[in-house]
Structure 1
Amino acid sequence: MMMYSTIDNAEQTGDNMSDRNAYEKKEIIMLYPRLGLKKNGLVMAMLKRANILAQHDYNVTILTVEYDAELSHVYNNMIENGVLSKQVRFQNVYALLQNSQISDANSCGDVQPYTPVASDGYVQDTNNNFIFKKGKLEKRYEMTREDGSLAWINYFNDNKIIMRAKYDASQTLSCIQNISDGKITSISFYDSEGKLKLINNYKVDEKSSELQSIILFNQQGFIETTLATEKELFLHALDTFYSRADTLYYFIIDRAIYFSEALFAHKKENYAYIGTIHAAHYVNPADSNSRVNSHYKHYFDNTQQLDALVFLTKKQRQEAEDRFKFNSASFEIPHVYDKKIPKYHAERKPFSCISVGRFDPVKRLPELIKIFSRVVQAIPEATLKLYGYGSELPKMQAAIEQYDLSRNVEICEYTESVDLVYQSADLMLFTSRSEGYGLVIMEALANQCPVVSYDINYGPLEMIVDGVNGFLIEDKQDEKFAQSVISALKDRKGLKAMQKSAGKLAKNYTASDFSQRWGELFMQVEINRNNKHSAV
């Protein structure tokens, strides 16, 4: 068991344990810039990892960096949708520095709907927002959330917004943004008692606002320090809240391009850095020796700074080891399907296909729509639903129009009820150019939804047995891809057998095995650290 490590009064114990090889406490900190209501596969994988390790008695914290007044709402949404366990601590750099509690719905109690102080002079719109006017040019908008709580107030002068005050879930003032010509010039952040804690100052030009400085204030209201970037603020938070001398901190990096450079320049004796790879580590999918993916460049340029590097597949780990020589620092830990699959008893609509994932260029979704036009020519009643969100949406809509598929192809909103989606379809279609693994493939198969996928690096080959629980198609062979879909949809008896075979995959990726692999990684990291200390 990993003992709980409090972050309170961390400065009292110092931050250096260079003479000790063992620590009384250990804490896992999973880092991510920001979590919202919509989550991509990388975020879902991080949340699954956090849940499973916490359930196996590890002390786990998810730490985000960027400011968000809606943190409690995001947290409660994850709890309510079952994607985050209450055993996992959810923290944020700004919330820590503001002494702000990220509360669950039960601890908050019933939210009292916001009512303006003034009894007259305002208009209430259909969304329960309040509009105050003083003459023709001066006014303010008081905006509420769906639960009726106050979210923010916009202040206008001369018909231009000049200031915005944001409130947290408890309807306490969180920050005030000063705005000029539609651009933020400064943001002042407050604690729950109304004390000023931080000021972010921005350099403004015609096109944008760029963060220029961050001023931190102590409890007495004096300036404590001035920082230049949000990355420096993140490191300051680590020094302040994650610096107990009796604790070994495992920092798991899931967004390498955001965190790795800053962390590598800030290595401490009781900090262990674990990098993760979620995509191909090179830029050309056809050449594993091509230029390194910029997201992971700092990993491979600074391998000595990493205590461990985690790959999702054996093939990618081997290719990276051959090229970069990691010795004992690399590990293979595939994704896990950790939840009990709900049975919706939904009828699979005949000839129905789905795609689930970000609308991103790497997914090649306009090409999938083109492929599906061939399927429709052979099976006019065939349908394709694409679930997700992202930048490729306009191109996808254009492809639907180009191939006259408005009656066959539907773009659907992001959903976290993916099990019902998988259980309602005959097949999932996967046309990604490259992946680190392809978590949606595992999810689909676990829900007895066979997958037709290009045989790309990395992931599909580890999960799909060609002709048994899906089909693997040579990359870019779109005609063969379409024909495989057509054949599978027409062979209704064979499709049922394939669906039954697909459901067996989840048994190969259990939570206990996943936790054991991570436990072995932590043990190896400590062995390597002890050996390093012994050699000095």
Structure 2
Amino acid sequence: MKQVYQLIFNLGLSSGGKTSALLSRSKYFNENNLNSNIVTFDYNSDYDFVLEQLRESKRLDDKTKVYNQFSFFENRSLSMSASTSNININIQDVIDDCVKIEVDKNKYALISLENGEYRGNIKYNSQNKFVLDLFKNNYRVRRVYASNCLIKRIKEFDYNGILNGETFYNQNGQPFLRRSSKDGSVSDLYLIAEKKYFKNNIKLGEYFLEELIEDTKNNIIISDGTGSINKLVNNKQRNVQKYAVMHTNHKNSTGIIKEKEENILKNSHKLDGVIFLTQEQIDDVEKEYGITNAHLIYNFISNIPEYYGQSTNKVVGNISRLVKGKGFDLLTDVAKKVKEIDPEITFHIYGEGDYKDEILKMIDEKNLNSTVKLFGYTDNPYKTIKGFRSVISTSQSEAQGLSMIEAMANGVSVVAFDIKYGPSQFIKDKINGYLIENKNVDAMATAIIELMNNDSKSISFGEYARKEIVESFEPINIINQWKKLFDN
């Protein structure tokens, strides 16, 4: 049976569309005799909790195995390490040699019992989890991270407070990985028990994949993260099938090429195939980069609801990562124009991201506090979408647009700027939604007001929108495309 290994940097509880697409694909692969595995490369001492929550919410299929780079090498070190030291005992001795004086809630200064010297401070995040800062001559030199009462990681700093290295420990308190930090970049990595040296993170990742995955044609690697592509194209295994998925546009909103996305396109000849989500993007990259192994396969859409519908309230919805490229400046401009004509219409935004404070600032400056409301991350998009009359997309860069597709699957029409590449593939202007000339906020405001105040048109658009998505995203058709690709 074929084993599929899907690469992504990390798994999080509030991850966006790319992670959702990967998790859905894993579920359908497992159901169709393709064993699914997910491979991650980040360090997270709470990974077990994250996976438990993802499985409990049914986002992560129970049959899917998850392999993490750090966990893999930590587990191997338990049987390979020749060390008899235990960092947990050493650190506990430091703590025991001090008196703890509370300086803040759950935070204590450590004062030496021997000479009264300030040794550092310890902050308890929970009963079994703490962060310990150790000082020398009043300078922080080490930061110790403990989880489940075990030391997991120690960072080292110079006298200017700059990180210059860190060490990772296994559950026996033995060091298994050491790496340096120069100018903010990771370098010079040492797998201690395995006596292996790596120049950078990419080289460690290459070694990890080659150790994890046997070199046979029944093993397949799919890179879902742009940051993982170098680990794949440099992979020395000759028989393993290798693919990359282009989840995003390879150009930004101003037409400038994105470096990481272009890296996939320039290295496509080293892969068995590159998967795209729209035919229009394939046409462009074949012309621009001479790619000959491009394939159109849609993302799976999980659990298309049997019962669907839209709200009768005048609510315009948006589910998105809160990042600059999603066009929230334009969304708030549209909302301002809509408010001037119909103040009953409200805009509900669901999501999290580093642009949140900027959005709140725009809302305040444009006097939209009663019109545009932020609700945070939702882990149940279909239930959330049922509260919308329509969905708005002001994004300036898309490949497919999962939130738009989920809205249409729920019988809710979408009003979107007509950008490359996603919206026009499924939105048929004035039939199942509106495609608006990019950045034409007046036209978008007019379209929204029309849908909010015309029940028959809103319902008709929603019905046609759902029909389009159900037909396009029939799971068996998508599975058969993947199987055909793997078999060829």
Please give the TM-score of this superposition, normalised by the length of structure 1.
Answer: 0.79
Which digits, 9 at most, give the CA deviation of each residue in 1:169-217, with x for residues without a partner? Answer: x5433222223444333222122222221111223xxxx5443311112
Q: How many Å apart are 1:342 and its aligned residue?
A: 8.4
Which digits, 9 at most, give the CA deviation of each residue in 1:209-244, with x for residues without a partner? Answer: 44331111226xxxx1222211111112123222x3
Matched ranges for 1:113-262 at <5 A: 122=100, 129=106, 131=108, 133-134=110-111, 137-145=118-126, 148-156=127-135, 161-168=140-147, 170-180=148-158, 181-203=160-182, 209-218=184-193, 224-242=195-213, 244-246=214-216, 248-256=218-226, 258-262=227-231
> Residue in 2 aligned with 1:59?
35
Matched ranges for 1:415-494 at <5 A: 415-494=378-457
> Residue in 2 aligned with 1:105?
none
Q: Structure 2: how far apart are the matches of 1:100 and 1:351?
A: 57
Q: Structure 2: how far apart are the matches of 1:342 and 1:186?
A: 53
Q: How many Å apart are 1:375 and its aligned residue?
A: 0.7
Which digits, 9 at most, give the CA deviation of each residue in 1:363-401, with x for residues without a partner? Answer: 111111001111111111211122223343343233223
Contact 2:133–2:143 under 8 Å retained in 1: yes
Contact 1:55–1:87 under 8 Å retained in 2: no
Q: Structure 2: how far apart are the matches of 1:279 and 1:52?
A: 22
Q: Structure 2: how far apart are the matches of 1:446 and 1:100?
A: 45
Which digits, 9 at most, give the CA deviation of each residue in 1:264-316, with x for residues without a partner? Answer: 2333212322021122234566xxxx764322323332332110111112222
Contact 1:122–1:130 under 8 Å retained in 2: no
Contact 1:366–1:395 under 8 Å retained in 2: no
Matched ranges for 1:29-428 at <5 A: 29-99=5-75, 122=100, 129=106, 131=108, 133-134=110-111, 137-145=118-126, 148-156=127-135, 161-168=140-147, 170-180=148-158, 181-203=160-182, 209-218=184-193, 224-242=195-213, 244-246=214-216, 248-256=218-226, 258-283=227-252, 292-327=257-292, 329-341=293-305, 348=311, 350-428=313-391
Contact 1:311–1:332 under 8 Å retained in 2: yes
Q: How many Å apart are 1:441 and its aligned residue?
A: 0.6
Distance 1:162 1:143, change over 3 A: farther
Of 378-387 and 411-420, more deviation after overlay is shown by 411-420
Of 89-98 and 185-194, more deviation after overlay is shown by 185-194
Distance 1:37 1:487, change over 3 A: same
Of 259-268 and 63-72, more deviation after overlay is shown by 259-268
Contact 2:133–2:142 under 8 Å retained in 1: yes
Q: Structure 2: how far apart are the matches of 1:178 and 1:39?
A: 30
Q: Structure 2: how far apart are the matches of 1:427 and 1:123?
A: 56
Q: How many Å apart are 1:245 and its aligned residue?
A: 4.5
> Residue in 2 aligned with 1:21?
none
List runs of 5+ in structure 1 lacking aligned partners: 3-25, 102-115, 525-536
Q: Structure 2: how far apart are the matches of 1:379 and 1:159?
A: 61
How many positions carry a matched residue from both structures? 467
Q: Structure 2: how far apart are the matches of 1:467 and 1:496?
A: 13
Contact 1:370–1:399 under 8 Å retained in 2: no
Q: How many Å apart are 1:322 and its aligned residue?
A: 3.8
Distance 1:480 1:185, change over 3 A: same
Q: Structure 1: how far apart are the matches of 2:150 and 2:65?
A: 22
Q: Structure 2: how far apart are the matches of 1:490 and 1:284?
A: 32
Work out the percentage of aligned pairs sharing the same amino acid. Answer: 21
Q: How many Å apart are 1:326 and its aligned residue?
A: 3.6
1:511 aligns with 2:482: no
Contact 2:350–2:378 under 8 Å retained in 1: yes
Distance 1:330 1:247, change over 3 A: closer
Q: Structure 1: how far apart are the matches of 2:180 and 2:252?
A: 37
